[in-house]
């Protein structure tokens, strides 16, 4: 079945990821679904059809949230989808890491009801160390959409021993205080569940339990935000 | 003390400590165990007992119960009257002759409490007296005499309670109430609740299991008046009503019964419109929700009637209580139910009054004889359609197979029809002048079913205004999925012939594991909002309903269609072959109108969408959908909104009846291992609730499987 020789059927069935050409022919015929294609191509119409299916339940309250990966990378498609949703009265939310072209954001803002924006770290050196980039672009983009009137929720991950210091959360509070239309700040403790996903993709479980924040760190962050008058979700 | 909840939060506290202790004791089996101490009374002393007619034996039995059943007054009870004979818990009139009970009892009905509250039992006595005069010296005389005797017995029982309460100052209010009710009309909320309870208790004492019906409709006006006149505060009213629910737990005794210890069909309905289209929801509605929320008593299966215009605030309150778990609240889409009843021939005003019987089967309360006949639709497909095919010509295409199936389905229903007829008709041949056959005595419930006294006919003999015999299709999802799998495998993809497939099924998929996995995993089955298979479900339900309707007018009762399993998928599992959709012999399959376990992969909203594609208004006695929700999905404000949305969507898409339960399968597994820590954990079984630890292992496993995602 496999033209690339990527399947090794020894005592255990394994897949050589390097050899795999992603044709998905094996996943199509796997009887148990052990080999599964994650993700498929859909048109804007396909997505809208799917979203509309549950309208009887969510009515005017619910809508669509674009997530990822980084959804804004799919520039044209994402803009088309957002426009179509708004045309059909479906509310829209976009999760973004913020490290995208300002252009995409300028085009998207009129069609997005809520931006959920990651602020991982306000310490530039640390941000660079752990994500590979400085936070400047992310902050600049945040202020850009803010100027355009976007409704924003800040999502702040807490990683024990890395960004769980008071200074970072004070910076977040100050940043949040400058936003005109802030829904609130969401504090998200690190969890190690992503490790299993890594395994499914043929890698190793690289979740790090040491990064799970202590409860008092979470409480401290909440308190700092509250002290600055910031709504904590 | 705490009342178990699925929810992380504790239950609110609004009731007095004394009432909470009363509730706790009842749930902890105090009164149930006491009830088991006296199982029955006996008629051994009656001379020439065997010479007596069935009706005469029955009358003596009721009289003996009234005269000698133990009187129980619980500490601090606000309502008096107790069903104290243990045999009644087993659905039998608790009287024996030489050790053996001889009188069957009645359930699956909601009697006419409205007349008792508004006019009093004395008004019924007057009617019975008139009927006696009218039918004297006819063959109906004995029944009328029986009516009068049973009322007399009821009076005697009431007299004994008055005697017991008389000299106890702390029960002065109870005494005063019982001096009037239930024989005179109720004049206050407290009297009304006592009247309702006392009548219900007497019926139960004598082994019958009636439902309560629309409790807020029955009691609402009394409470309104008392609140307006400052006679009662809301808190006081809540205490009284709480005692009603607590007294209803008097049979909890912890005994292991297959299907659970709370299956007594004490169903209650809340909210909805009345016959004049006014919304009933009133203070009583909210009090009941408060009580259920605080005490977690799920022994009264309670269903809320909602419609397109139901108040959002009310739905939120319902959701709040629902997510405490215990399967405590179910939901009717009353718009759809009423349209179904009208389609079945009821007038609009009558249809709006609907209540239910033990589980969810719909009926007009106080005037309906109800019976249902379940059958396994999968067995028909496997052991008739596919089996008989072996010898005869091939099914050329799917249509031919489907056609044969519906023919076989027709034979099954015709069989039910003829069978019921044999039971209920005097002559074996259906004629225009249908004559009801003689049945065992059931005078007590007949007293409270409109039509019986006037006609001089008992509840089982055509007395009530409406009479229903409803075939119930079971295994629906499995039949649909089987047909679908055959369609795909044999006719669309042509992977093998029907003959080959049937051999494989007869061999329980032996040696065909790859094919079985294929069928299990690669096809999208009913419950995932997939049109191709859902269309088969919609079509089958429609054809089934049409078959049932074709028998209307050929007998003295209506023959409406309904869908249910009521847990029978457990007992059916050993009679079923391996199924075309990949399941092996002995597996426990679909419940009610729900998907086959483990085939629903798209969430609750998809299940509802699949279910609603059928025209459920053709299933007049009901089609129930079980929805299992994880506690995490109904947490917080989002969770509340989600539950409300679920209910709204259910109504707007045309559902009939939904029974959600919020429970974690892992908690159930823990309860299996350490039942002592989970004594009051309740789950929804199938139209009724039970304390999980009283289900036997098979039922427990079935509930766990249904709850696993």
> Which residue from B minimizes the CA distance to A34?
B521
- Ramachandran angles phi, psi of B362, nearest 5°: -85, 140
Residue in B521, B605, B646 nearest the CB of A31? B521
Alpha carbons B559 and B620: distance in angstroms, whole number: 10
The residue-averaged pLDDT of A211-223 equals 90
The residue-averaged pLDDT of B457-483 equals 95
Query: What's the pLDDT at B298?
Result: 81
**Which one of A32, A35, A57, A233 makes the best mutation probe of the B interface by having the most chain B beta carbons within 10 Å?**
A57
- Ramachandran angles phi, psi of B250, nearest 5°: -70, -10
Tell me the per-residue pLDDT of B299-336, one tens digit each, with 9 for 90 and over.
Answer: 898 999 999 999 999 999 999 999 887 788 999 999 99
Residue B364 pLDDT > 70: yes
**Minimum distance, in Å, between the CA of residue A59 and any CA atom of chain B:** 8
Tell me the per-residue pLDDT of B424-437, one tens digit each, with 9 for 90 and over.
Answer: 887 655 556 678 88
CA torsion sign for B450, B455, B458, B464 is negative
Residue in A31, A57, A62 nearest the CB of B514? A31
DSSP letter at B279 equals B
Task: Answer yes or no: are the C-beta atoms of B308 and B338 closer than 8 Å.
Answer: no
What are the tokens at B134? 């009218």
CA angle, B119 then B122 then B128, to 5°: 110
The strands making up B100-101's β-sheet, listed across from edge to edge, are B41-42, B95-97, B100-101
The residue-averaged pLDDT of B492-521 equals 93
Query: What's the pLDDT at B391?
Result: 54
> Which residue from A minimizes the CA distance to B650?
A57
Interface of B with A in 458-517 (CB under 8 A): 514-515, 517
Q: Taking CB atoms and an 8 Å cutoff, what residues of chain B touch A62? A: 645
Alpha carbons B197 and B182: distance in angstroms, whole number: 9
Alpha carbons B296 and B286: distance in angstroms, whole number: 15
Residue B256 pLDDT > 80: no
Query: Environment class of residue A63 by beta-carbon count within 10 Å: exposed (0-12), middle (13-18) or buried (19+)?
Result: middle
Q: Taking CB atoms and an 8 Å cutoff, what residues of chain B touch A54? A: 605, 609, 649
Q: Do A59 and B653 touch (CB under 8 A)?
A: no
Residue in A33, A53, A57 nearest the CB of B645? A57
CA torsion sign for A56, A62, A68, A73 is positive
Residue B257 pLDDT > 90: no
Please state, rounded to an integer, the average pLDDT across all residues of chain A: 88
**Which one of B649, B650, B660 makes the best mutation probe of the A interface by having the most chain A beta carbons within 10 Å?**
B649
Q: Do A32 and B517 touch (CB under 8 A)?
A: yes
Residue in A32, A33, A57 nearest the CB of B649? A57
**Does A32 reach chain B within 8 Å, measured CB to CB?**
yes
**Does B37 reach chain A within 8 Å, measured CB to CB?**
no
**Minimum distance, in Å, between the CA of residue A35 and any CA atom of chain B:** 12
- Residue in this structure with the two tokens 């089955």, named with its chain if needed: B525
Report how far Cα B272 is from the mean position of its chain's Cα atoms.
18
Q: Do A31 and B529 touch (CB under 8 A)?
A: no
Tell me the per-residue pLDDT of B83-108, one tens digit each, with 9 for 90 and over.
Answer: 999 999 989 999 999 999 999 999 99
Alpha carbons A46 and A31: distance in angstroms, whole number: 26
SS (H, E, C) B6-38: CCCCCCCCCCCHHHHHHHHHHHCCHHHHHHCCC
Angle, to 10 degrees, between the axis of helix B697-707 and the axis of helix B665-673?
160
Query: What's the pLDDT at B622?
Result: 92
Task: Answer yes or no: are the C-beta atoms of B295 and B303 closer than 8 Å.
Answer: no
Pairing mode of beta strands B268-270, B302-306: parallel
Would you place residue A41 in the very low, low, confident or very high pLDDT band (cuts 50, 70, 90)?
A: confident
Tell me the per-residue pLDDT of B125-183, one tens digit each, with 9 for 90 and over.
Answer: 999 999 999 999 999 999 999 999 999 999 999 999 999 999 999 999 999 999 999 99
Residue in B521, B609, B641 nearest the CB of A32? B521
Residue B678: which residues within 8 A CB-CB, separation 6 or more? Answer: B4, B667, B670, B671, B692, B693
Residue B631 pLDDT > 90: no
**Minimum distance, in Å, between the CA of residue B520 and any CA atom of chain A:** 8
**Minimum distance, in Å, between the CA of residue A122 and any CA atom of chain B:** 30
Alpha carbons A70 and A95: distance in angstroms, whole number: 8
Alpha carbons B484 and B523: distance in angstroms, whole number: 9
Query: What's the pLDDT at B514?
Result: 92
**Minimum distance, in Å, between the CA of residue A111 and any CA atom of chain B:** 24
**Does B552 reach chain A within 8 Å, measured CB to CB?**
no
Query: What's the pLDDT at B259?
Result: 64
User: What is the enclosing helix (H) or strand (E) of B351?
Assistant: helix B348-352
**Minimum distance, in Å, between the CA of residue A63 and any CA atom of chain B:** 13
CA distances to B247, B477, B580 from B315, rounded to whole Å, are 28, 29, 41
Interface of B with A in 610-649 (CB under 8 A): 641, 645-646, 648-649
Query: What's the pLDDT at B628?
Result: 86
Task: Answer yes or no: are the C-beta atoms of B563 and B623 closer than 8 Å.
Answer: yes
Task: Answer yes or no: are the C-beta atoms of B400 and B498 closer than 8 Å.
Answer: no
What are the tokens at B693? 């630890």
What are the tokens at B349? 């005003």
Residue A98 pLDDT > 80: yes
Alpha carbons B446 and B59: distance in angstroms, whole number: 13
Q: How many CA atoms lie within 13 A of B512 on its CB side?
A: 24
Q: Taking CB atoms and an 8 Å cutoff, what residues of chain B touch A183? A: none
Tell me the per-residue pLDDT of A13-22, one tens digit each, with 9 for 90 and over.
Answer: 888 888 888 8
**Which one of A31, A91, A93 makes the best mutation probe of the B interface by having the most chain B beta carbons within 10 Å?**
A31
Q: Which of B699, B474, B686 is nearest to B590 (CA)?
A: B474
Q: Where are the alpha helices (DSSP H) in B79-214?
A: 113-119, 121-135, 141-166, 172-180, 189-205
What are the tokens at B395? 């099914």
Interface of A with B in 36-55 (CB under 8 A): 53-54
Q: Do B645 and A58 touch (CB under 8 A)?
A: yes
Query: What's the pLDDT at A31?
Result: 78
Residue in A53, A58, A59 nearest the CB of B609? A53
Q: Which of A134, A93, A101 is nearest to A117 (CA)?
A: A93
Q: Taking CB atoms and an 8 Å cutoff, what residues of chain B touch A56? A: 609, 648-649, 652-653
Residue B287 pLDDT > 90: yes
**Does A56 reach chain B within 8 Å, measured CB to CB?**
yes
> Which residue from A minimizes the CA distance to B606?
A54
CA distances to A172, B324, B396 from B393, rounded to whole Å, are 77, 56, 9
**Minimum distance, in Å, between the CA of residue A185 and any CA atom of chain B:** 17
Please state, rounded to an integer, the average pLDDT across all residues of chain B: 92
Alpha carbons B484 and A72: distance in angstroms, whole number: 41
Residue B588 pLDDT > 70: yes
Q: Taking CB atoms and an 8 Å cutoff, what residues of chain A touch B514? A: 31
Query: What's the pLDDT at B261?
Result: 64
The residue-averaged pLDDT of B225-235 equals 97
What SS3 state is found at B524? coil
Alpha carbons B211 and B194: distance in angstroms, whole number: 16
- Residue in this structure with the two tokens 């995490």, named with its chain if needed: B632
- Residue in this structure with the two tokens 């051999």, named with its chain if needed: B503
Query: What's the pLDDT at B8?
Result: 59
Alpha carbons A163 and B468: distance in angstroms, whole number: 70
For B287-300, the DSSP string reads: HHHHHHHHH---SS
Query: What's the pLDDT at B706?
Result: 76
Task: Answer yes or no: are the C-beta atoms of B275 and B353 closer than 8 Å.
Answer: yes
> Which residue from B minimizes the CA distance to A31?
B518
> Which residue from B minimizes the CA distance to A58?
B645
For B49-110, the DSSP string reads: GGGS-HHHHHHHHHHHHHHHSPP---TT-SS------GGGGGSB-SEEETTEE--B--EEEE
Q: Where are the alpha helices (DSSP H) in A30-135?
A: 44-53, 55-58, 75-87, 102-108, 124-131
Query: What's the pLDDT at B543?
Result: 98
Residue B190 pLDDT > 90: yes
Alpha carbons A39 and A34: distance in angstroms, whole number: 15
Query: What's the pLDDT at B685?
Result: 73
Query: What's the pLDDT at B428?
Result: 52
> Which residue from A minimizes the CA distance to B530?
A53
Residue A67: which residues within 8 A CB-CB, separation 6 or more? Answer: A95
What are the tokens at B647? 């209910």
Tell me the per-residue pLDDT of B329-350, one tens digit each, with 9 for 90 and over.
Answer: 999 999 999 999 999 999 999 9
> Which residue from B minimizes the CA distance to A56?
B649
Tell me the per-residue pLDDT of B366-421, one tens digit each, with 9 for 90 and over.
Answer: 999 999 999 999 999 999 898 877 655 678 899 999 999 999 999 999 999 988 88
- Ramachandran angles phi, psi of A95, nearest 5°: -95, 130
The residue-averaged pLDDT of B191-211 equals 97
Q: Taking CB atoms and an 8 Å cutoff, what residues of chain A touch B606? A: 53
Task: Answer yes or no: are the C-beta atoms of B94 and B40 closer than 8 Å.
Answer: yes
Would you place residue A201 in the very low, low, confident or very high pLDDT band (cuts 50, 70, 90)?
A: confident
Q: Taking CB atoms and an 8 Å cutoff, what residues of chain A touch B649? A: 54, 56-58
CA distances to A41, A53, A81, A82, B146 from A46, rounded to whole Å, are 9, 11, 10, 13, 69
Residue B580 pLDDT > 90: yes
Q: Do B517 and A31 touch (CB under 8 A)?
A: yes
Residue in B514, B517, B529 nearest the CB of A53? B529
What SS3 state is found at B211? strand
CA torsion sign for B313, B314, B319, B321 is positive
Query: What's the pLDDT at B655?
Result: 97
CA angle, A82 then A85 then A91, to 5°: 95
**Upstream peptide bond of B41 is cis (omega within 30 degrees of 0):** no
Q: How many CB pairs under 8 A join A and B?
A: 35
The strands making up A114-118's β-sheet, listed across from edge to edge, are A63-66, A91-96, A114-118, A152-158, A182-189
Q: Do A31 and B518 touch (CB under 8 A)?
A: yes
What are the tokens at B418? 């003829």
- Ramachandran angles phi, psi of A117, nearest 5°: -110, 125
Residue in B521, B522, B652 nearest the CB of A56? B652
**Minimum distance, in Å, between the CA of residue B522 and any CA atom of chain A:** 7
- Residue in this structure with the two tokens 């408060």, named with its chain if needed: B290
Alpha carbons B573 and B559: distance in angstroms, whole number: 27
> Which residue from A minimizes the CA distance to B521?
A32
Alpha carbons B88 and B634: distance in angstroms, whole number: 38
Residue B638 pLDDT > 90: no
Task: Answer yes or no: are the C-beta atoms of B302 and B268 closer than 8 Å.
Answer: yes
């Amino acid at each position: 079945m496999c033209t690339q020789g990527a399947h090794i059927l020894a005592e255990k069935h394994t897949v050589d990821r390097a050899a795999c050409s992603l044709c998905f022919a094996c996943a199509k015929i796997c009887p148990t679904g052990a080999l599964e294609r994650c993700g498929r191509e859909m048109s804007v119409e396909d997505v809208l059809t799917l979203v509309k299916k549950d309208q009887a339940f969510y009515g005017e309250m619910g809508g669509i949230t674009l997530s990822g990966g980084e959804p804004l990378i799919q520039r044209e498609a994402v803009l088309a989808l957002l426009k179509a949703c708004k045309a059909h009265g479906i509310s829209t939310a976009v999760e973004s890491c913020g490290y995208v072209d300002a252009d995409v954001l300028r085009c998207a803002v009129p069609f997005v009801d809520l931006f959920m924006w990651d602020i991982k770290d306000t310490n530039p050196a640390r941000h660079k160390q752990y994500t590979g980039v400085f936070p400047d672009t992310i902050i600049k983009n945040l202020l850009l959409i803010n100027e355009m009137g976007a409704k924003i929720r800040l999502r702040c991950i807490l990683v024990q021993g890395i960004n769980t210091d008071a200074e970072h959360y004070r910076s977040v509070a100050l940043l949040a205080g400058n936003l005109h239309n802030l829904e609130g700040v969401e504090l998200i403790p690190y969890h190690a569940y992503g490790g299993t996903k890594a395994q499914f993709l043929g890698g190793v479980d690289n979740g790090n339990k040491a990064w799970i924040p202590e409860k008092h760190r979470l409480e401290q962050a909440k308190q700092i935000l509250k002290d600055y008058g910031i709504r904590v979700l | 003390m705490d009342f178990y909840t699925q929810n992380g939060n504790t239950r609110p506290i609004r009731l007095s400590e004394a009432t909470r202790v009363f509730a706790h004791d009842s749930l902890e089996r105090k009164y149930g165990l006491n009830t088991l101490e006296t199982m029955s009374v006996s008629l051994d002393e009656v001379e020439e007992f065997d010479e007596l007619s069935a009706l005469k034996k029955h009358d003596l039995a009721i009289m003996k119960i009234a005269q000698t059943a133990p009187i129980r007054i619980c500490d601090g009870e606000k309502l008096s009257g107790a069903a104290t004979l243990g045999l009644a818990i087993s659905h039998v009139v608790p009287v024996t002759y030489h050790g053996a009970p001889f009188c069957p009892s009645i359930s699956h009905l909601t009697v006419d409490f409205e007349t008792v509250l508004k006019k009093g039992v004395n008004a019924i006595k007057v009617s019975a007296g008139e009927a006696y005069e009218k039918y004297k010296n006819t063959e109906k005389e004995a029944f009328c005499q029986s009516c009068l005797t049973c009322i007399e017995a009821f009076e005697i029982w009431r007299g004994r309670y008055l005697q017991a309460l008389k000299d106890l100052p702390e029960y002065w209010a109870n005494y005063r109430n019982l001096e009037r009710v239930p024989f005179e009309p109720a004049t206050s909320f407290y009297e009304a609740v006592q009247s309702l309870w006392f009548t219900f208790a007497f019926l139960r004492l004598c082994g019958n299991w009636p439902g309560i019906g629309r409790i807020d409709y029955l009691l609402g006006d009394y409470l309104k008046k008392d609140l307006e006149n400052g006679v009662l505060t809301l808190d006081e009213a809540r205490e009284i009503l709480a005692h009603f629910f607590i007294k209803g737990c008097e049979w909890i005794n912890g005994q292991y019964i297959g299907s659970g210890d709370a299956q007594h069909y004490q169903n209650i309905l809340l909210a909805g419109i009345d016959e004049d289209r006014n919304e009933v929801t009133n203070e009583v509605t909210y009090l009941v929700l408060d009580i259920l929320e605080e005490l977690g008593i799920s022994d009264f299966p309670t269903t809320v009637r909602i419609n397109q215009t139901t108040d959002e605030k009310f739905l939120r309150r319902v959701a709040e209580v629902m997510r405490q778990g215990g399967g405590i609240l179910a939901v009717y889409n009353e718009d759809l139910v009423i349209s179904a009843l009208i389609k079945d021939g009821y007038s609009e005003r009558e249809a709006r009054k609907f209540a239910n019987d033990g589980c969810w089967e719909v009926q007009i309360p106080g005037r309906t004889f109800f019976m249902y006949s379940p059958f396994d639709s999968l067995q028909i497909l496997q052991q008739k359609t596919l089996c008989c095919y072996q010898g005869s010509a091939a099914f050329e295409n799917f249509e031919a197979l489907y056609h044969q199936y519906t023919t076989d389905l027709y034979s099954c229903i015709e069989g039910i029809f003829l069978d019921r007829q044999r039971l209920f008709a005097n002559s074996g041949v259906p004629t225009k002048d249908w004559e009801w056959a003689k049945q065992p005595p059931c005078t007590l419930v007949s007293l409270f079913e409109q039509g019986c006294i006037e006609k001089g006919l008992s509840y089982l003999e055509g007395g009530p205004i409406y009479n229903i015999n409803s075939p119930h299709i079971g295994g629906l999802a499995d039949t649909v999925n089987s047909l679908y799998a055959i369609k795909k495998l044999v006719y669309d993809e042509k992977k093998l012939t029907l003959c080959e497939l049937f051999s494989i099924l007869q061999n329980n998929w032996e040696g065909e594991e790859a094919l079985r996995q294929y069928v299990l995993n690669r096809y999208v089955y009913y419950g995932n909002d997939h049109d191709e298979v859902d269309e088969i479900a919609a079509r089958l339900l429609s054809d089934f309903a049409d078959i049932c309707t074709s028998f209307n007018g050929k007998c003295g009762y209506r023959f409406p269609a309904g869908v249910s399993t009521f847990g029978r998928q457990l007992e059916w599992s050993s009679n079923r072959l391996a199924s075309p959709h990949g399941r092996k012999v002995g597996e426990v399959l679909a419940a009610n109108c729900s998907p086959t376990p483990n085939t629903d992969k798209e969430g609750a909203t998809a299940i509802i969408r699949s279910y609603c594609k059928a025209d459920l208004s053709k299933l007049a006695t009901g089609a129930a959908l079980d929805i299992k929700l994880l506690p995490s999905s109904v947490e917080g404000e989002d969770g509340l909104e989600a539950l409300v949305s679920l209910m709204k969507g259910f109504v707007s898409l045309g559902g009939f009846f939904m029974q959600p339960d919020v429970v974690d399968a892992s908690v159930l597994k823990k309860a299996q291992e350490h039942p002592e820590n989970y004594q009051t954990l309740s789950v929804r079984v199938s139209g009724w609730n039970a304390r999980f630890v009283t289900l036997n292992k098979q039922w427990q496993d079935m509930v766990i499987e249904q709850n696993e995602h």
